[in-house]
Amino acid sequence: MSVHIYHYNTNSEQRFFLGENRELYDIIALNGNIVSYMPAGVASFISTASKMFYIDPQTHAFQHSTINLKRDVSNKEEREPPKFEFKPSIKKLAQERLGSPFSLVIEEDRPIRTTDFFRNDGEIDDNIITNICQNVVSFQLETIMNSLDEETKEFLDSEDDFRPEFVIAPYFYLSPRQFREWFKINIECYRKSCEIFPNIQIYLSLVVSKKALQRGDEIISAISELKPMGILIWIDEHIEEDLIENDISIYIEFLRKLKKHTDIIYNNHGGYLSILLCHKEIGSLLNGVGHSINYGENRSVIPIGGGIPMARFYLPSVHSRLRFGDALHIVKDSKKWLRSRDDYRKNVCCCTQCMELIKEKKGNIVEAFDAYGESYPVTFRRRSGTVISLEYPTKEARMIAARHYLFNKAKEFSDLEEFSFEILLQKLENAYDEISPYLGDELVAHLLNWKEALKDIIQ
């Protein structure tokens, strides 16, 4: 069975993890700064969800320019100039949980550098590695447990319910710049964590840029000696819809070689291409894939400005979140799939959310579909003085779009069990043939690229 991971990013997303939604996924991925900042709240959420979880200690966050860890606290109404301060959650994570050298980032306002880990003679400083492994692993093992009150602890069947499924050794981002040094630090951190905590499941986190992925053989050779219990990968800005055949081949080849030296590989941020790579007929090159609530199939390592979200609709056959206008154009104007409930079920979506909407709108399919695009205008003035007006999705539209997305993601996982790899690839081509005459290639070409790159894997 392939593991379906949900990333938990903000408390407002809690409802998607609870109640009936519990059935749609397997593991919760928690961010270190949330766990650090509000451990009691997270503990209560975990006990309600009653699902497996792991904690990302986010150690790589401290190696980038510190502006990424700050927020603007200036008074905008007084038109004060921007004034940046470290986010309180990051401050707490570094100073109270992870300790030195992470705390130096806050105290000295500078990123962690490779030189923080090397002695003057060019060797890695074993004391520093031991210290960070001790702190980073203990943080994941104990923080939630320690924040439970005594009464709750007494009623626990097992303390293991509040322990992560596995812990992640300290890790840093790998780009072509200083690749060797950071990679060496990562490998040493993994080795040392296993030495200090011999009875704990410890995974290696590989966060790489697309360019660093091309140095796959260097990574593989170190990992063949290390034989990690499990590996989490995260490729920076790996937008699967944008990959050309050659990119996909590099990705697959990397996974294939990696898989020889570990039993478990999860892609922390992946889309349907990665889900297909979980298929057992191709030897489960991946064992699980993660995403956030209606986003996060890809993520960039350094956050870049959020921007205003537009209403999007995850079109199941295209396995992509299209702008609502594009989705509407396909299903209503081009394909006439909104004519009847049966047409809609067969060609667009048969998820619980879509069916509930149709019922709510008394069988009016067009009205039901329009609910996904409900928005209100937001007007703001740019610094240049230009007035911009944008359509911002309503809270309700975002809620139902997320629910529809999650039902469909769960279906993509269950399809792995239900259909052969060949049939799933054929479905990609069918969807391409169906839609490309109306929308052109831009929004659906990935379906053919995926199919072409994947068909060679079947041996």
Instruction: Kindly tell me which of 202 and 349 has the beta carbon lying closer to Zn ion.
Output: 349
Q: C-beta of 411: minimal distance to Zn ion in Å? A: 9
Q: Which of 27, 189, 331, 351 binds Zn ion (CB under 5 A)?
A: 351
What span, in angstroms and rounded, lies between the C-alpha atoms of 183 and 398?
A: 40
H helices of 334-385, in order, are 341-347, 352-360, 365-370
Token pair 């154009």: residue: 329
Size of the site for Zn ion (CB under 5 A): 4
- Residue 267: phi, psi to the nearest 5? -95, 115
Q: C-beta of 351: minimal distance to Zn ion in Å? A: 3
Could you tell me which stretch among 42-50, 141-149, 201-209, 349-357 binds Zn ion (CB under 5 A)? 349-357
Q: Does 354 bind Zn ion (CB under 5 A)?
A: yes
Number of residues that make up the chain? 459
Token pair 């003085």: residue: 385
What span, in angstroms and rounded, lies between the C-alpha atoms of 190 and 204?
A: 6
* Whether 261 contacts 437, CB under 8 Å: no
Instruction: Kindly tell me which of 404 and 446 has the beta carbon lying closer to Zn ion.
Output: 404
Q: Does 106 bind Zn ion (CB under 5 A)?
A: no
Instruction: Kindly tell me which of 192 and 409 has the beta carbon lying closer to Zn ion.
Output: 409
- For 375, the token pair is 């928005």
Between vectors from CA 253 to CA 239 and to CA 265, what angle results, nearest 5°? 75
- For 276, the token pair is 């297909």
Q: Which of 238, 269, 404, 451 binds Zn ion (CB under 5 A)?
A: 404
Q: Does 105 bind Zn ion (CB under 5 A)?
A: no
Q: Does 338 bind Zn ion (CB under 5 A)?
A: no
* 270 phi-psi bin (left φ>0, alpha ψ -120 to 50, beta other): beta
Instruction: Kindly tell me which of 267 and 353 has the beta carbon lying closer to Zn ion.
Output: 353
List the x/- string, 135-164, binding to Zn ion by CB under 5 A.
------------------------------
Instruction: Kindly tell me which of 113 and 345 has the beta carbon lying closer to Zn ion.
Output: 345
Q: Does 402 bind Zn ion (CB under 5 A)?
A: no
Q: Does 238 bind Zn ion (CB under 5 A)?
A: no
- For 388, the token pair is 């911009």
Which residues are near Zn ion by CB under 5 A?
Answer: 349, 351, 354, 404
